[in-house]
Structure 1
Amino acid sequence: MPHTVTVDEFAIADPADAWTRAGFSVDANAVCRVGSVRITLVGRDRGMGVVGWSLRGLPQGSVDDLDGVPTARSSAAAPTPATHANGVTAIDHVVMLSPDLSRTVDALAEIGVHPRRERDAELGGRAIRQIFFRLGEVILEVIGSPGTASEGPSTLWGITYVVDDIEATAAFFGDHASPVKDAVQPGRRITTLRHQQLGMSVRTAMISAAYPLSS
């Protein structure tokens, strides 16, 4: 039977109080429960950004590194989702930057995770390729150059969260969020946080739900 790999936890090197100020509910153990995912805030002693993740459903064998991203095996049940003042209900997708797309795709295939879709685009005038994978509730979006490859690890670079009311979320953040605009995904709207102003080290966006209710 094939394994279904899902995200249990992201380890992020931020202080818990920064996330509390950003409208996230954080438990006493510095865990923020977003949908089916735990975000553990490990503090600046571990560096900055997403410094690792835990995955459920990994195949047998030793997995402590997934194309450069520190990776732990988990058998924990999904947490009870928390309610967040900023309107966040789930994680939509996490972005992984890859210096070598073929290498990253192969590393994911080794744990039984395969591409669902690809899209060519531009970023800062440079051609990029986006490759999408499904890790349970979370979409993994791998971004890299379609024509070149280099050494070095892949990194988990940014997280986009689903919110019930994108306008209310943007109002909650005020000047700490960009104006709401149409997302690439049809029918959805998005805002990007000025995360550093909030003391957060992970690039963060908020997006409306995929299937909004009709009025």
Structure 2
Amino acid sequence: MTVRPRLAAVQLACDPAAWARAGFAVDARGRCRIGATELVLAGGDGGITGWALHGAIPADDGIDGLATTVAAIPPGDAPPEHPNGVVAIDHLVVRTPDTARTLEALEAAGFELRRVRDAGTPARPLRQGFLLTDEAIVEVVGPPEPEGSGPATFWGLALVAADLDVTVARMDGAAGVPRPAVQAGRRIATVAASAGLGVPVALMSPRERGRP
């Protein structure tokens, strides 16, 4: 059986008060646990600054430029309930100028590459790779052919709502109208930048049973 890395924590340079206003349960240390993954809301100018993984083997300088620390096993106790109804992280998005290089680095660190697909438009083609952790999918987005030698960077999060319509309503205008997602049978809504979360965040309906 394949042993997948576990996503223990994600570090964000974001305002914990803004996340609390958006209906997330944030403790006094600025920690917000979603499922088994802890979001560390450290304040700052926004963006995801790093992650902590259990069961991965990063290089000394991270994973293709992604700041990575080795973590203990995430807690097994029940996570707190979030007033907005979010229950899990669906995927974490990574951008890269060299899709093949970043996917290779993640596989070398212990991630399982599930699939690669081409998307975008003829004017702006994109390649997406999807890798698995125990908690969430890592979605790598970049060009079909390399467009530079810069590092990969973290971009945003997609979160699962138990009932997407309820979560959007509880966000009181901070989330857009749900629309069909790329994944069959699912819907998605985007959280507005005006919510102040500091990173791009999307909300998704749960996966249909039996679908990966």
Identify whether the pair has TM-score above 0.5, normalized to the shorter chain. Answer: yes
Distance in 2, Cα, partners of 1:178 & 1:142: 24
Give the equivalent residue in structure 2 for 1:187. 185
Q: Which residue of structure 1 lines up, in the alignment, with residue 97 of structure 2?
A: 99
TM-score w.r.t. length of structure 2: 0.91
1:68 aligned to which of 41, 65, 70: 65
- The structural deviation recorded for 1:159 is 0.3
Task: Identify if the C-alpha distance between structure 1 residues 125 and 204 changes in structure 2 by more than 3 Å, giving closer, same or farther.
Answer: farther
Asked if 2 retains the 8 angstrom alpha-carbon contact of 1:5 and 1:112, the reply is yes
Corresponding residue of 1:136: 134
How far apart in 1 are the matches of 2:155 and 2:121? 15
Q: 2:111 is matched by which residue type in structure 1?
A: V
Q: 2:83 aligns with which of 77, 82, 85?
A: 85
- Structure 2 gap ranges (5+): none
Aligned with 1:18: secondary structure?
helix
* 2:202 match: 205
1:144 counterpart letter in structure 2: G
Instruction: Kindly provide the CA deviation profile for residues 98-152 of structure 1, in whole angstroms up to 9, marking residues without a partner as x.
Output: 1111110121122121310111111695100110000112100000000233121
Q: How far did 1:90 drift? A: 0.3
How many matched pairs? 208
Q: Quick one: distance in 1 between partners of 2:164 and 2:46?
A: 27
TM-score by length of 1: 0.90
1:19/1:26 contact within 8 Å kept: yes
- Percent identity over paired residues: 38
Structure 1 residues 203-212 or 128-137, which shifts more? 203-212
Stretch moving more, 68-77 or 201-210: 68-77
Given residue 138 of structure 1, which amino acid in structure 2 is its aligned partner?
A
Q: Residue 71 of structure 1 aligns to which amino acid in structure 2? A: T
Is the 2:15–2:198 Cα contact (8 Å) retained in structure 1?
A: no
Q: Per-residue deviation at 1:170?
A: 1.4
**1:32, 1:38 within 8 Å by CA — same for their partners in 2?**
yes
CA RMSD of aligned residues (A): 1.9
The 5 A counterparts of 1:1-215 are: 3-44=3-44, 47-59=45-57, 63-78=60-75, 80-122=78-120, 125-194=123-192, 196-211=193-208
Aligned-partner Cα distance in 1 for 2:47–2:136? 18
Q: Distance in 2 between matches of 1:147 and 1:58?
A: 27
Question: Can you list the C-alpha shifts for 1:179-203, whole angstroms capped at 9, x where unaligned?
Answer: 1111111111110000x21111110
Aligned 8 A contact 2:6 2:74 in 1: no
Q: For the Cα contact (< 8 Å) 1:162–1:209, is it kept in 2?
A: yes
Tell me the CA shift for residue 76 of structure 1: 3.5
Decide whether the 8 Å contact of 2:97 with 2:142 is kept in 1. yes
